[in-house]
Amino acid sequence: MPSRESGTERQRIAVSGPTALGDAVAAARRYAADLQLDERDRARLCIIVEELITNLCEHGAREMECEIGIELWRDSGAVGLAVEDNGAPFDPRTASIPDAVPARGGGAGLRLVTSWAQVVGYEYAGGRNRIELRLPLAEG
């Protein structure tokens, strides 16, 4: 069960273990609904959260050891998203993304995330990654 600080403007969610992905996407969906984002922006936010958490659980940390913090906030014409985790260091700004997507899909999720959202910051400190993104809104 995720822990959640509520409020429409800023929300923090902590998820972990085998339900981390579903809990994170459900929290993003609730947040988007609370903000009354249009359908396109709701879908994009949820897909970005899904891709980030999936990649983290598949590549960054073992599922049972995943400790993920998610923060969402409304920014001028955008939604801000920060993801903190205890996985291996991974800076998406310097990651190599193949031009052609292999049959198994490697790199497709990261390409999608970076095409819809701007990575505005990354740091690895104290054994934790923190990535910040800005998702421009259609309405804003």
- The more confidently predicted of residues 134 and 87 is 134
Instruction: Give CA–CA dist 43/126, Å, rounded.
Output: 33
pLDDT of res. 105? 53
The DSSP call for residue 138 is: T
Phi-psi region of 36 (alpha: psi -120 to 50; beta: other; left: phi over 0): left
pLDDT of res. 58? 76
Domains and CATH numbers, the chain: 3-136 (3.30.565.10)
Q: Could you tell me if 46 and 135 are in contact, meaning their C-beta atoms sit under 8 angstroms apart?
A: no
pLDDT above 80: residue 91: yes
Task: Tell me the per-residue pLDDT of 47-84, one tens digit each, with 9 for 90 and over.
Answer: 999 999 988 877 666 555 778 999 999 988 999 999 99
**Structure tokens of 112?**
């999608």
pTM for this predicted structure: 0.83
Range name among 6-10, 16-20, 103-107, 132-136 with the lowest pLDDT average:
103-107
What's the chain's average pLDDT?
Answer: 84
Percent of the chain with pLDDT over 70: 79
Q: Which amino acid is residue 129, in one-letter code?
A: N
- The more confidently predicted of residues 25 and 110 is 25
Average pLDDT over residues 80-101: 80
